[in-house]
């Protein structure tokens, strides 16, 4: 069944979708000194914050999600009185920061707000059901896969696939333990990369059946795998399995793809593993797709990351310009076979993009999206 993305919105440290895309083209970064948490306590000095000023707001991720759902539903023209509308929110951390503040500072916590049901219903009161899934850093892409299933099974007329995450002290502390304290930015696929830094944000897309006249943005397929290979280390076979599943569902070949939005975390293990798998996937697809990634500009936004990359891919295909990988100066050897976009935007006439999202524990998702460019 042909599926379409009929509405979308996101919020990153660089702004909304259009602002984020324009900043990416300009090579800008949303990195700032770490806020709300003492850097010396977590061994992390920088983050990619949405709220750049003012005191820490409670339930920040929920607030951003409400904004994104409102905008995406409006663009799609959703009408809960006439349509069966379901929402699936993918997240890595939920509203864990509220629990931290309750434990450390005695700030009252609303346990019901740890689930994003209230945040979605604040924007779309008539939504039938809101499900929150915590599938690590591929969570929003898993939400997209479930959205496609619900439409294809005729369980819903429209599904909001979403992601929402705000930085937490406990996650920052974990990053600080496994990273390099001298890391001052995310540098995907760079020989001098020193680890990942976290970013805030939220994102929402509306999935519906594609109209008979065709769709401006068509969701071709979402592939998934869960290899459980290691707590944090990626498994090449697990990444390949998700890609193979995506292409099978989409009825496409690697040669059909002109752009890849890589997971690209700037870590010691992800980047060479992902680069090697991509090089193998496109070995017979000369000249191969352009490859870029967004975490150097917006940080690792945890469960929101997959759908954020998807929306950047849509913008790049729609406008015919692929932004560079912010922070990338000297590519790693494993990425030599790839057409990485470095330094400046690159023009493209591609119509199909692959979007990677990989999570701890081998929870992987790969999306294929097609865009009909406006003439």
Q: What is the pLDDT of residue 180?
A: 58
State the residue for tokens 């865009």.
371
Contact 27, 162 (CB under 8 A): no
What is the Cα Rg of the chain in Å?
19
Q: What is the pLDDT of residue 374?
A: 64
Q: pLDDT per residue over 189-233, tens digit each?
A: 999 999 999 999 999 999 999 987 789 999 999 999 999 888 888
Confidence of residue 243 (pLDDT cuts 50, 70, 90): very high
CA 24 vs CA 293, 294, 315, 326: distances in Å: 10, 8, 11, 7
The percent of residues in the chain predicted with pLDDT above 70, rounded, is 98
Look at residue 181 and tell me whether its pLDDT is greater than 80: no
Contact 163, 305 (CB under 8 A): yes
Q: What is the pLDDT of residue 324?
A: 98
Look at residue 375 and tell me whether its pLDDT is greater than 60: no
Confidence of residue 51 (pLDDT cuts 50, 70, 90): confident
CA distance 143 to 290: 26
Contact 301, 140 (CB under 8 A): no
Active site amino acids: 137, 263, 300
Number of Cβ atoms within 10 Å of the Cβ of 148 = 21
CA distance 290 to 302: 24
Tokens of 99: 């629990």
- As a three-state string, the secondary structure of 300-358 is ECHHHHHHHHHHHHHHHHHHCEECCCCCCCCECHHHCCCEECCCCCEECCCCEEEEEEE
Residue bearing the bigger pLDDT, 212 or 10: 10
Confidence of residue 368 (pLDDT cuts 50, 70, 90): very high
Q: pLDDT per residue over 100-131, tens digit each?
A: 888 878 778 788 888 899 999 999 999 999 99
pTM across the whole model = 0.96
Q: pLDDT per residue over 252-307, tens digit each?
A: 999 999 999 999 999 999 999 999 999 999 999 989 999 999 999 999 999 999 99
């Amino acid at each position: 069944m042909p599926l379409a993305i009929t509405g979308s919105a996101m919020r990153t440290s660089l702004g909304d979708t259009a602002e984020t895309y324009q900043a990416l083209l300009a090579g800008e970064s949303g990195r700032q000194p770490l806020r709300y948490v003492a850097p010396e306590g977590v061994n992390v000095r920088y983050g990619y914050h949405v709220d750049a000023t003012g005191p820490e707001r409670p339930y920040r991720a929920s607030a951003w999600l409400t904004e994104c759902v409102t905008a995406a539903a409006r663009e799609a023209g959703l009408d809960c009185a006439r349509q069966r509308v379901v929402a699936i929110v993918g997240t890595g951390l939920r509203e864990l920061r509220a629990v931290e503040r309750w434990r450390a500072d005695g700030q009252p916590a609303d346990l019901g707000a740890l689930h994003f049901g209230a945040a979605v219903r604040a924007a779309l009161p008539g939504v039938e059901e809101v499900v929150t899934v915590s599938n690590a850093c591929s969570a929003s892409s898993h939400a997209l896969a479930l959205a496609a299933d619900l439409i294809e099974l005729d369980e819903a007329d429209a599904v909001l696939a979403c992601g929402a995450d705000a930085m937490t002290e406990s996650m920052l502390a974990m990053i600080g333990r496994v990273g390099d304290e001298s890391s001052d930015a995310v540098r995907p696929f760079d020989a001098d990369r020193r680890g990942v830094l976290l970013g805030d944000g939220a994102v929402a897309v509306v999935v519906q059946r594609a109209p008979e006249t065709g769709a401006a943005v068509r969701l071709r397929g979402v592939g998934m795998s869960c290899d459980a290979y290691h707590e944090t280390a990626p498994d090449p076979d697990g990444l390949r399995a998700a890609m193979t599943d995506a292409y099978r569902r989409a009825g496409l070949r690697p040669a059909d793809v002109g752009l890849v939005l890589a997971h690209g975390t700037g870590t010691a293990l992800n980047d060479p593993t992902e680069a090697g798998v991509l090089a193998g996937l496109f070995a017979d697809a000369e000249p191969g797709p352009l490859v870029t990634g967004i975490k150097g500009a917006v940080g690792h936004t945890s469960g929101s990351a997959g759908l954020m990359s998807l929306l950047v891919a849509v913008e790049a295909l729609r406008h015919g310009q692929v932004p560079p990988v912010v922070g990338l100066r000297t590519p790693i050897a494993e990425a030599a076979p790839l057409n990485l976009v470095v330094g400046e935007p690159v023009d493209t006439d591609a119509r199909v993009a692959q979007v990677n999202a990989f999570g701890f524990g081998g929870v992987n998702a790969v999306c294929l999206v097609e865009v009909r460019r406006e003439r």
